[in-house]
Structure 1
Amino acid sequence: MDSAGAKIGAGAAAAAHSSEPLPLRIKLLYGAPSFAGAAMVIPIFIHMPKFYADVVLVPLGYLAMAIAIARSLDALSDPLMGWISDHTHTRLGRRRPYMLFGAPLCGVAFFALLNPPASFTGGRAAIWFGVTFILYFVFHTIYVLPHYALGPELTQNYHERSSLFAWRESFSILGTIVAAAAPGVMMQAFHMTERQVFFRLGIFFGVVLSVLYGLLVLTVKERPDFVTRESNPLVPGVRRALRNRPFAILLGSYVVASISGAIPATMMPFFNAYVIRPRNPTFWLSMLLLGYFAFAFVSVPIWLAIARRVGKLNAYLASFFLSITGGGAMFLLGPGDTWWLLVLICWAGIGLGAGLFLTPSMQADVIDYDELYTGKRREAQYTAFWSMLPKFVAIPSAAIPIAVLASLGYIPNAVQAPRVVFAIRAIFALGPAACSMLSFLIARRFPMTEAIHNTILEGIARHERGHAAFDPMTGLMVPAPKAGHDDDVGWFLDYFSIGELKRYLARGASQPVRDVLTVAAVSIGVSALSVIYVLRRVSSLRTDPGAITSLIVVTAGLAFAIFVFHLMRLGPARRLAAGEVPAEAIRAHLGQVVEALREGAPIAVAASGVADRG
């Protein structure tokens, strides 16, 4: 233990200056586009479900189904976009080309989503919602994944990363505040209808998004040493990312915490209108959102100072107290408790300010740990994980609540039955509080500190000089990754799990293809049966498909994602069956992976053998 501490201290001293502070100009240019990007989320998730339900008159079940379909496809596009961005080599770099054309297209889709034709109702309006919702998120993925992947590349300094992401998320909160307040203020001050408000918001934020991303692309350059790094195959990259223990812990906490955000985003308009029942629900909804995000915005520099003093993890853990207590207390509210709700919303907003920038900052540190073992920079692939998995969780979090309300007898613009009111209170208040508690328990296991991170950076520098490096989290000496045949074999064998490789050695050459085809067949079968069920349920656009249909749509999306993943493994399985890799090399690889997993290392270093204990 003392030896490890000494090595950490030496690494920290050597790595403290490994990245110069970022100029404020870069932080502003990198962060500013998030103003418009985040602002768009508010009308989409807060206002659109209720707008399409109460004004456009689309049945709630169809909205739930459309959201589920759109978010499923959106989640599938994340890993593909991450892989494409990491493999792109142009004069503009790996990230900037996609921001340049993705943002304007997203702005167009955003405008269309907010402005359905006035003649559309029922089934036609549901189709319009679903198509524009899908297009918005496809184009959103094209520009936002490269944008977020660019952040970890701009600096490797432990605290500068927190500052960079604090600026980005401050712009996000500012855009959210403007979007949250705008509808209520515009309707109150200028006596506009909802359609008039959304028409103006669609034009404004679409233009601002395009302009700010254009400025970013023209003024902020990518690091040339990262742009020229060799990339990795998609499927082995997924497997190696999931072996990264700090990342898996952080991702697990973030996925659970995403439920705490998805449920209130969908349910707040219903809680406000049918539980609290203020005289002007639209105005008070804007005030609640304004208070929530305003207090998050004000708290960011406070949390940044706390993180510098006690570390990112401790600051992040402290923020959960506010969301747990605030959410639980909201369950006790009833009609007329408007001001109490505002106080509790602001209290929870303070906790939001910490998680917004600390989690991406901690994720960026984890990407450096991956480089220590792989020698590759995979920002976009890790960012895709960060974006994709919470979406699969957020799909039922957003779609199921409104589908449940529909099944319980929700009636638009009317006094709700007691069971509907109780369901709204429980889903809005107790669900997020419970998820925040679980997320806190997972996050407590995150092992990385500033000293450990600095030692990792020193290890990366030693690898660049061809020397072995110390892993402060496992106590292992990690050989420098070496490009060449052995490394290629290691990545190739990571197309397969430990069990699949053992079955190949025990049962013969055809086993890998059988394994892949079996899982692919089962998953596409589940997806096809789910689609058939949904089509039968929605054979008439005049009927509400019900809550169960949203769950089936989510199942279809997950099953199809598994099918695509295994389909990409079919070619490598055939190559393995053809004897492309000798059995001795497979046994050596298995030994390395098992040893690495036993020691808690993210991967085995195939090119250099098992890492030695320091």
Structure 2
Amino acid sequence: MTSVGWRQTLAYGAPGVGAGFMMLLVNLYVMKFATDVLLIAPAVMGVIFGISRVWDAVSDPLVGYLSDRSTGSLGRRRSWLLLSILPLAGMFIWVFSPPDSLSQGMLVLWMAIGVIGFYSALTMLVVPHVSLGAELSADYHLRSRLYGLRHGAFTFGAILALGGMQWLLAAEQIGAEAVRSRAFEITVFAAIVSGALILWAVIGLRERPDFQGRVNPRPLSAFADVWQNIHARLVLIVTFVENIGGAVIATLTLYIAQYVLGRPDMAGLIILAYFIPSTLSVPIWLPLSRRFGKVRLWMFSLVLTGLSFGSMISILVLEPQTQLPVMFFLAFVAGLSAGCGGTLSPSIQSDIIDYDEYVTGERKEGSYFAAFNFAHKSATGVMIVLAGFILQLAGFEPNVDQNDVVIYAIVGLFGGFPLVCYLISAWLFRRFTLDERTYRTLRSALDERGVNPASPAPASQ
């Protein structure tokens, strides 16, 4: 299947809206909701997020491999999309709806179940969904269009989540009960809409039956193939390092706005300045990737993102009246480069999966994207744990003016840490060799093998 019409492309992108809304609201607001509304210590929430990342080491590969092995009339991926609707909706509502009567210990347990349960349910959607994109087209550049629309839908959902977050932040001025009430209304509505969008994809898409049953029956061998794939191994490392830095936008923007800039009302607008160009720049990156190549363009975006975040350290020495304009400009530039990465990285990862088929003769998109997804989420978890402990050690106390040590810690984590991570990622990624010319050679070999099944696969990588 090479040609994919706009009707299928839109159906493929649709679940990204709900996923983007839910993920951003949890990533961006749950930490603050827990520390400032529920009065849970930042370090405790850091441990909860850290435990959820450890669980991801089990849930991500499990969902990826089981979806590879799934059979039935709905195919390998759409059956998982359908199964994800109820648990995803339920856990999203759960994490924002702890009962007032809970003791502090039970409240921590409630949040632990909610956070871990939410990310587990999200895995049931995200891993099969992104895996489906690699199956819909084998065209080197058409894949970028599919993933570009998925990225645009995801960031559009994230933009909508900013509106919900602003409504919750306004409720904090009224009181904890107002926050809880509004959170319940937001999560119920989002759960219903997200379920409908997932159903659209289930009904509107079709899968390749010839891909079913083409995976190693031994799961450990399947994931060993992922690590032994020289291209996958490099991109896993790059993805992990990159996303340690990238997690700051969701983890610390609220803290930057409230405790550094003294403008908590601007937090949503700063994030909006990041997400709008990330969404709208997708049509720009697609033709540029054809001209300059997906690999070189993604490496460029890593450097640009790192420099954008690193430049935010300057707010420590800027006059108060210039801090906000500089933050908005740098967030805009970082968002532009994020649009490139969100469009091209899964497209490149799909090419890596085709290389695995060239070597092994198997189709295990779920196993590969489970590994990539785990690298992304574990990096986010590392950043959240790190931020929680550093803030606690620096002497952070919620809802009061912070001392200089806390201010420097917040800005250092928000600007300096991403600068280092993104530049290291770009330096590592320069060794990636699966460019368009190499891909077209292996694609021709795979097509020949499809016409002539007797054509042998290579014995090794």
What TM-score results when the alignment is normalised by the length of structure 1?
A: 0.71
Could you say which residue in structure 2 is the equivalent of 1:413? 399
Distance 1:86-1:115 versus aligned 2 partners, 3 A rule: same
SS in 1 for 2:369: helix
Identity in percent? 30
Could you say which residue in structure 2 is the equivalent of 1:21? 3
Q: d(CA) in 2 for partners of 1:410 and 1:242?
A: 40
1:74 aligned to 2:51? Answer: no
1:122 aligned to 2:104? Answer: yes
1:210 aligned to 2:187? Answer: no
Q: d(CA) in 2 for partners of 1:466 and 1:113?
A: 51
1:182-331 alignment, distance < 5 Å = 182-184=164-166, 193-278=178-263, 281=264, 283-331=265-313
Q: d(CA) in 2 for partners of 1:125 and 1:54?
A: 14
- Within the candidate set 110, 131, 137, 2:113 is matched to 131
- Within the candidate set 421, 437, 441, 1:435 is matched to 421
Q: d(CA) in 2 for partners of 1:378 and 1:321?
A: 31
Aligned-partner residue type, residue 224 of structure 1: P
Aligned-partner residue type, residue 418 of structure 1: D
Stretch moving more, 29-38 or 401-410: 401-410
Q: d(CA) in 2 for partners of 1:194 and 1:358?
A: 38
Q: d(CA) in 2 for partners of 1:240 and 1:20?
A: 26
Stretch moving more, 431-440 or 261-270: 261-270
Aligned-partner residue type, residue 392 of structure 2: A
Conservation of the 8 A alpha-carbon contact between 1:102 and 1:143: yes
Could you say which residue in structure 1 is the equivalent of 2:375? 389
Q: d(CA) in 1 for partners of 2:14 and 2:431?
A: 33
Conservation of the 8 A alpha-carbon contact between 1:255 and 1:390: yes
Q: After superposition, what is the alpha-carbon deviation per residue over 1:296-346, rounded to whole angstroms, capped at 9, x for unaligned? A: 111111111210111101211221232122111111104552222111111
Could you say which residue in structure 1 is the equivalent of 2:352? 366
Conservation of the 8 A alpha-carbon contact between 2:353 and 2:365: yes
Q: d(CA) in 1 for partners of 2:267 and 2:63?
A: 35
- Within the candidate set 149, 159, 181, 1:167 is matched to 149
SS in 2 for 1:447: coil
Give, in angstroms, the shift of residue 405 of structure 1.
0.9
SS in 1 for 2:396: coil
Q: d(CA) in 1 for partners of 2:329 and 2:202?
A: 40
SS in 1 for 2:141: helix
Could you say which residue in structure 2 is the equivalent of 1:480? 457
Q: d(CA) in 2 for partners of 1:187 and 1:389?
A: 31
1:35 aligned to 2:17? Answer: yes
Q: d(CA) in 2 for partners of 1:332 and 1:455?
A: 47
Conservation of the 8 A alpha-carbon contact between 2:91 and 2:114: yes
Q: After superposition, what is the alpha-carbon deviation per residue over 1:430-454, rounded to whole angstroms, capped at 9, x for unaligned? A: 0011100001111111112222212
- Within the candidate set 33, 46, 69, 1:87 is matched to 69
Give, in angstroms, the shift of residue 369 of structure 1.
0.7
Conservation of the 8 A alpha-carbon contact between 2:168 and 2:183: no
Aligned-partner residue type, residue 353 of structure 1: G
Conservation of the 8 A alpha-carbon contact between 2:254 and 2:267: yes
Question: Whose Rg is larger?
Answer: 1
- Within the candidate set 380, 387, 396, 2:366 is matched to 380
Conservation of the 8 A alpha-carbon contact between 1:183 and 1:197: no
Q: d(CA) in 2 for partners of 1:263 and 1:205?
A: 24
RMSD: 2.0
Could you say which residue in structure 2 is the equivalent of 1:341? 327
Distance 1:375-1:289 versus aligned 2 partners, 3 A rule: same
Distance 1:187-1:272 versus aligned 2 partners, 3 A rule: closer
Could you say which residue in structure 2 is the equivalent of 1:181? 163
Give, in angstroms, the shift of residue 156 of structure 1.
0.3
Give, in angstroms, the shift of residue 190 of structure 1.
13
Could you say which residue in structure 2 is the equivalent of 1:350? 336
Give, in angstroms, the shift of residue 188 of structure 1.
5.7
Q: After superposition, what is the alpha-carbon deviation per residue over 1:333-380, rounded to whole angstroms, capped at 9, x for unaligned? A: 045522221111111111100001100000101111111111111100
Stretch moving more, 402-411 or 385-394: 385-394
1:533-548 alignment, distance < 5 Å = none
Q: d(CA) in 2 for partners of 1:383 and 1:89?
A: 19
Conservation of the 8 A alpha-carbon contact between 2:239 and 2:375: no
Conservation of the 8 A alpha-carbon contact between 2:355 and 2:442: yes
What TM-score results when the alignment is normalised by the length of structure 2?
A: 0.94
Conservation of the 8 A alpha-carbon contact between 1:315 and 1:354: yes
Aligned-partner residue type, residue 480 of structure 1: A
Conservation of the 8 A alpha-carbon contact between 1:169 and 1:356: yes
Q: After superposition, what is the alpha-carbon deviation per residue over 1:395-432, rounded to whole angstroms, capped at 9, x for unaligned? A: 22111211211122111111112111111111111001
Give, in angstroms, the shift of residue 277 of structure 1.
1.1
Tell me how many residue pairs correspond in the alignment.
453
Q: d(CA) in 2 for partners of 1:197 and 1:191?
A: 13
SS in 2 for 1:156: coil
Aligned-partner residue type, residue 344 of structure 2: L
Q: d(CA) in 2 for partners of 1:264 and 1:314?
A: 24
